[in-house]
Structure 1
Amino acid sequence: MKEAAPESYADSPFIDEITRVDLPKKFVIPSIRTYDGTSDPQNHVAFYKQKMLVASIPSEFRQVCMCKGFGTTLTGPALQWFINLPNGSIKSFADLVNTFNQQFASKRELEKHSSDLYRVTQIKDEPHELPSVEVFRQGLLPNNDLYVELTKYPCHSFEDFQAKTLAYIRLVEDKSYKFGGSCNPKDYDKPNRKSGGRSNNYRSGPYTRLNQSEVNLMQEQQGLIKRLDNMGPVVRWPRKSDNPNPRKDHTKWCIPDVHYDGLVISMQIETTNVRMILVDGGSSVDLIMLDVLKAMKIKEDQITKNSSVLVGFSGETKRTLGEIYLPTYVEGLASYERFGVLDFLSSYNVILGRPWIHNIKVVPSTYHQCIKIPTYWGVATIKGEHKLAQECNTEVLKHSKAVRPELVSFLKNKSSCFAWPHFDLTGISADVITHKLNIDTSYKPVQQKRRKFASKRNTIINEEVDKLSLIWA
């Protein structure tokens, strides 16, 4: 672990005019709940101001005390962010508050509007709430029979509301069946407002019958099948238009039906927006490259020297440099993840495995190139960067194809440096390697009795002895 610098005790994000001022001797920081970066930052600042307002602080020292005492109210990712601020970057308490609110803006509580009631959904095992019935009633037209029924006789339970709506649906379907698709046939005898008179166009009435050969879907299934058979080739899918539509935006087309690309996304880690992040459900650890940490200006002394061995699909192993805990932010959700640090060239900057997927309950789909995340305000969707995933996959294939010829060429040029048969191992210096038997010299050696083997085994033993004799000849 890297040792701290002798002057590290003087590190401070504030300017010298604030850092060098001594606090009053009788000043005591009021007790306040700590902020860890998972709640509204504006509420924390308001609560902190109120606590400091009642503290007895001279007016000339108030801003200094407000600045220096703010760091003691932070913990977790918020405290880590405060420590990593550059020295001398904060000039006043207002500057500190603006920087703090900007960093944790994703945790701010949004203002509620009346339109949010229409996005309220019922979760599992949650009791029914009657306010949703009132919202439904307010959305009906005043002359609607169901509106009149719900206004005259309010529902006292959700089951009562279901019974009334079901009865209304049955009434509408029965009228539609009797009058040919209209609840009130007289309503469609009125002239069309736009044309000034009754039109034969089907748009003049939403339920106007076009002709007598219309199929009534309210019939029984057997009657419907017979009716379709009698119509013959009339029932068929409409053919596609031969004229291409120039209004089609080809850039918004879906991804190809068949592809084998991984899911690559971008997200904020610490204070940096990191790209080329592979979401891999087959990885049991979260990994980050050492070059990425250096680009994020994170020092290596923050890496915990807890190395572990990673085992690949074919049994190859790779040892990590250590571990580091970093906050991740995606769609307003913050999580503190443990990353294994690797020092080698990779097409991906970060690999998010099952720990990250399970912590925030992500549902990834490599085929649809997106992930679904349950949040406090609904299910959020993050689309993957499909083109970037294809580039990463191509880069991996190019790297593997380029390394193999170089490795084969190297082995051919340096073939004399390698020991292929046993007798090539002659002349190894004892300074390089030695083999010793841990035998106590105080004991008298005992000669073992000769063992007799079968002829085939005896031949194999003699061949091995001859090989060893050649090596030490």
Structure 2
Amino acid sequence: MKAKVPKDFKAPDITPYDGTSDPSHHLSNFRSQMYLTDASDAIHYKAFPTTLTKTAIKWFDSLAPRSITSFDDLAKKFLARFSIQKDKAKHAPSLLGIKQGDRKSLRSYMERFNKTCLDIQNLPTEAAIMGLINGLREGPFSHSISKKYPTSLNEVQEWVEKYINMEENSRLGETSKTGFSYPPRDKDKESRKKYLPTEKPRKYHNYTPLRVSLVDVYWEICNTEKTTSPRPIKHERGESQTEYCEYH
């Protein structure tokens, strides 16, 4: 397939296909971008290999010369070669596997549920509503929606947003009550040390030096002030009973 590529032609800016995902998605993206360029069938053929990589480009290089008659022919061979990677079609019963966990928020549950709904072609409204209610855990929203069954997805969406806001506001309230944190003890001690004097202030600047032992001083005090002597020390097991101070 010979064709002259225009000077102003710009190759499609899409993620290269490596053969590990659905080939139909890649082909649709390629055709959408090429449609904007109004390129010929031959230009499609020349541009398509630039969007392939790894296993996919190896497959293209292995094609026999003159085995492709048109871009549609190339597209069919491309889809057939990588058909094993095609996404499996999902149906309404797939919603039964979406459950809201005990600790999962209503918002996260709805995000997973909506994503699954998008993958289901021609999903009936009643099946979507039934699947949503079936996956809810016991709580205010499940009790409310079971009493008044919604009739449209818009009604469900408004209902869901109301309870999502209630749930998130409730969590914010709990965080504000318990979220106050005290400074660590070590840091608290360090801050208090900054305001404590490093040295105990002295009442007197000059003291008379002692010329006798402390025991003699205590003995004099006890006799002068008529102070009773302290009781003997209670020794713990294993301690020496010969080492003691009379005025402990």
Question: What TM-score do you get using the length of structure 1 for normalisation?
Answer: 0.23
- Structure of higher RCO (CA pairs closer than 8 Å, 6+ residues apart): 2
Which structure carries more helix by proportion? 2
Query: Which structure has more strand as a fraction of its residues?
Result: 1
> TM-score when scaled to structure 2?
0.41
